[in-house]
Amino acid sequence: MSTEQFEKLQLIEPILRALAEEGYEQPTKVQRAAIPELLEGKDLLATAQTGTGKTASFALPILQMLHQRPRPATKAAETAEPPPSRSLLRSRGRKRRRPGLSTGIRALVLTPTRELAIQVDDAFRAYGRHLELKTAVVVGGVPSKSQIHALRQNPEILVATPGRLIDLHNQRVVRLDQVEMLVLDEADRMLDMGFVHDVRKIVAMTPATRQTMFFSATLTGEVGRLASDMLRDPSRVEVTPAASVSDDIEQKVLFVQQINKRELLKEVLKDNNIERALVFTRTKVGAEFIMKLLKSYGVSTDAIHSDKFQKERQRALAAFDQGEIRVLVATDIVARGIDVDGISHVINYELPNDPESYVHRIGRTARAGAVGTALSFCDAGEVAMLEGIEKLTGHPLTTVEDHPYHSSFVAGLLGRNAATRTTSPAQRLRKRSRMKSRGSRRYV
């Protein structure tokens, strides 16, 4: 298999060999734009829609630069703060702490979720299989013993979620004062999840001379301010407009009364063309409910959300990836950690409160050049959310009316055929409810 297009990016032979073994033939747009800039040592600010190959765009140059710049001979342990003496601790009436286990990390990648961290770590291992570079991953929600053991092996590359990384740093298990390259992957999602203070704290722990790579689907508000604070004269890479949706995704909306959503989902899944479906809910409780409901219908299903143990989430993802289950139910907090090929449909059982989450949800389908379908169930209380989504993406969703639970009432709230709308969907809903309560036969 030829990797001639990657050779033009000045990647070294061991990496090219690994890419060929992974089946890569030509770089994506973001890879063609980002890799040369990073190999020159520049900071990078990149916006690109999900599924465009962002991981390889930073993993490949990091691997190459670390390989070409071997670790300094000075051992991390030599610069570690020595533990207090026994006599000093005894005089203070405290037990002796274990010696510091600090290790110097050269490349640090921060991700918002455990699933994404594990996938990024897997990518580094795959692309760097012919290089003598060690990687490690530290994430919350699982015991830290094995992670501490991995850090003791003195890895060059660390992929981490912010909370667990700060915890291990406070325990003197990991050092960040030798970081040469720092990556913020899915930065906007990290901030959405409330990690902004943790991220800023971690960034402050790294050297000011580091090379920084900032990847985000959007650059508004706090995300833009964080990028401005972190980056020094960065190169800009913008493959597609922020919050854009792939043309390979067919977006449809099904208007339905909230009480009929369960039966609509059952009806939709009767379609054999839905080979592998990802169903999104807004809450963990909702995800569990839908999973149990579909199982009662005889549909092979599992669910992942933040209350699940890491082993449970990985087991569910593996079963979904291997085709052992047909439907996976998920919440937004894990949406970006789902990187499974062959997802034919994304079904928004509940529309997200944040329009940008819609973009990330449906970006799970139509990956790696495939095509996909996004179906969104919209009830009366979600019309405003739908309007926000259409405004953000600049793309009106196609209405599907030929299903047994279509609600003309809900569809009418959107006012698709009205020349102007002077009232909000919520106001129109209240007005129509008052008319109905007064005995109007129009809505009977």
Determine how many CB atoms are found less than 10 A away from the CB of residue 83: 14
264 and 376 housed in the same domain: yes
Confirm whether 192 is domain-assigned: yes
Instruction: Tell me the CB-side half-sphere exposure of residue 284, using CA atoms within 13 A.
Output: 7
Provide the edge-to-edge strand list for the sheet that holds 277-280: 301-304, 327-330, 277-280, 345-348, 372-378, 249-255, 398-399
Please give the pLDDT value at position 92: 53
Q: List the CATH number of the domain containing 45.
A: 3.40.50.300
157 and 32 housed in the same domain: yes
209 and 261 housed in the same domain: no
pTM: 0.63
CA 345, 347, 353, 355: dihedral to nearest 10 degrees?
Answer: 30
Q: What is the pLDDT of residues 339-350, one digit of tens each?
A: 777 899 999 999
Looking at per-residue confidence, does 208 or 426 come out higher?
Answer: 208
Confirm whether 54 is domain-assigned: yes
193 and 268 housed in the same domain: no
Output the six-digit token pair for 349: 């059982």
CA 239, 243, 244, 249: dihedral to nearest 10 degrees?
Answer: 120
44 and 171 housed in the same domain: yes
How many folded domains does the chain comprise?
A: 2
- Domain boundary among the residues 208, 238, 268 is at 238
- Whether the per-residue pLDDT at 277 is higher than 80: the answer is yes
- Whether the per-residue pLDDT at 208 is higher than 60: the answer is yes
Q: What is the pLDDT of residues 111-162, one digit of tens each?
A: 988 888 988 999 999 999 999 999 999 998 788 899 999 999 999 999 999 9
Q: What is the pLDDT of residues 41-57, one digit of tens each?
A: 999 999 866 667 889 99
311 and 414 housed in the same domain: yes
Instruction: Tell me the CB-side half-sphere exposure of residue 291, using CA atoms within 13 A.
Output: 17
Query: Which residue(s) pair with 250 in the sheet?
Result: 373
- Whether the per-residue pLDDT at 440 is higher than 80: the answer is no
194 and 266 housed in the same domain: no
Q: What is the pLDDT of residues 87-115, one digit of tens each?
A: 555 555 554 444 444 567 999 999 988 88
Question: Looking at 62-66, 130-134, 274-278, 305-309, which range is the least confident one?
Answer: 305-309
Q: Collapsing DSSP states into helix, strand and coil, what is residue 45?
A: strand
- Cβ–Cβ under 8 Å, residues 280 and 347: yes
Confirm whether 74 is domain-assigned: yes
- Domain boundary among the residues 238, 266, 292 is at 238
Distance in Å from the first CA to the final CA of the chain: 65
> Over pLDDT 90: what percentage of the chain?
51
Confirm whether 388 is domain-assigned: yes
158 and 261 housed in the same domain: no
229 and 358 housed in the same domain: no
> Over pLDDT 70: what percentage of the chain?
82
Q: In sequence order, what DSSP letters do the residues of 407-434 get, joined into one string?
A: -HHHHHHTTTT-S---S-HHHHHHHHHH
341 and 408 housed in the same domain: yes
Q: Which domain holds residue 368?
A: 249-443
Distance, CA of 112 to CA of 90 (rounded, Å): 42
Taking residues 324-353, what's their average pLDDT? 85
- Domain boundary among the residues 189, 209, 238 is at 238
401 and 283 housed in the same domain: yes
